[in-house]
Copies of this chain bind each other. A is one copy, B any other.
Amino acid sequence: MPSCVVARRVHFNAAHRLHNPRQSDQWNRDTFGKCNLPNYHGHNYELDILVEGEIDPDTGYVIDVGILKQLADEHIISLLDHHNLNLDVPWFAERLPSAENIARFCWEQLAPRIPQGRLRRIRLWETPRNYVDYEGL
């Protein structure tokens, strides 16, 4: 069968800091460098949501990308945008807010809610020179 994947890009801004409280301050500085600075820094994140499926002959759609935008707004953007990932988002209480884990968070928020088709991949751009592809189970 042919494969068709649709992608919708959404945007959020957030602050974060990489710091593992189970390790020493020295380990944190050595491991994370500037990303460990105490008062946070931040990024303009761009998030691509990729959904695979058959093309519905009635709509021409694999999925309406407006639905992807709405799901992202409700379950990702409203929680992360203009927030501090370390302080404001409980999911990161026990996990480092690295690009890898943010992508995984986005996957876990969306995967159970994709109504038709199938979530195929999350691509998260942390900067224009750094991105992560996450594909969950």
Contact = CB atoms under 8 A, between A and B. Distances in A.
Nearest to A5: B133
B128 A44 contact: yes
A41 B84 contact: yes
Interface in A1-59: 1-11, 13-16, 18, 20, 22-23, 31-35, 37, 39-44, 50, 55, 57-59
Q: Which 6 A-B pairs have the closest CB atoms?
A: A42-B42, A60-B96, A60-B98, A39-B84, A34-B82, A15-B15
Interface of A: 1-11, 13-16, 18, 20, 22-23, 31-35, 37, 39-44, 50, 55, 57-62, 64-66, 81-84, 87-88, 95-101, 103-104, 107, 127-137
